Amino acid sequence: MHVFSVDGVPAVLWTPAGDDRTGATPLIFIGHGGGQHKQHPAVQYRAERFVAAGFAVVSADIPNHGDRAPDERLNQLAGTVGDIARFQALAAEQTVPEWQAVIDAVHARIGAGPVGYWGVSAGCGLGVPFVAADPRVRAAVLGLGGASANAAVAARITVPVEFLIQWDDERVPREQSLALFDALGSVDKTLHANPGGHSDRLPEHELDSQVRFFTRHLIPTESR
What is the contact surface with a copy of itself in residues (CB under 8 A)? 165, 167, 178, 181-182, 187-195, 203, 205-206, 208-209, 212-213, 216
State in angstroms the smallest separation of the CB of 155 from a copy of itself: 14
Rounded to the nearest angstrom, the gap between the alpha carbon of residue 211 and the centroid of all alpha carbons in its chain is: 14
Paired residues of 118 in beta bridges? 30, 141
Classify burial at 193, counting beta carbons within 10 Å of its beta carbon; exposed 0-12, middle 13-18, buried 19 or more: middle
State in angstroms the smallest separation of the CB of 180 from a copy of itself: 13
Residue closer to a copy of itself (CB basis): 38 or 192: 192
Classify burial at 163, counting beta carbons within 10 Å of its beta carbon; exposed 0-12, middle 13-18, buried 19 or more: buried
State in angstroms the smallest separation of the CB of 151 from a copy of itself: 16
Residue closer to a copy of itself (CB basis): 39 or 186: 186
Residue closer to a copy of itself (CB basis): 104 or 168: 168
State in angstroms the smallest separation of the CB of 196 from a copy of itself: 10
State in angstroms the smallest separation of the CB of 191 from a copy of itself: 4
As a whole number of angstroms, the distance between CA 15 and CA 34 comes to 25
Residue closer to a copy of itself (CB basis): 13 or 219: 219
Which residues fall within 8 angstroms of residue 203, CB to CB, at 6 or more apart? 194
Residue closer to a copy of itself (CB basis): 93 or 208: 208
- Local structure of 24: helix, strand or coil: coil
Which residues fall within 8 angstroms of residue 120, CB to CB, at 6 or more apart? 33, 141, 142, 143, 144, 145, 164
State in angstroms the smallest separation of the CB of 217 from a copy of itself: 10
131 neighbors 137 (Cβ within 8 angstroms): yes
Specify the amino acid at residue 179: A
Residue closer to a copy of itself (CB basis): 97 or 203: 203
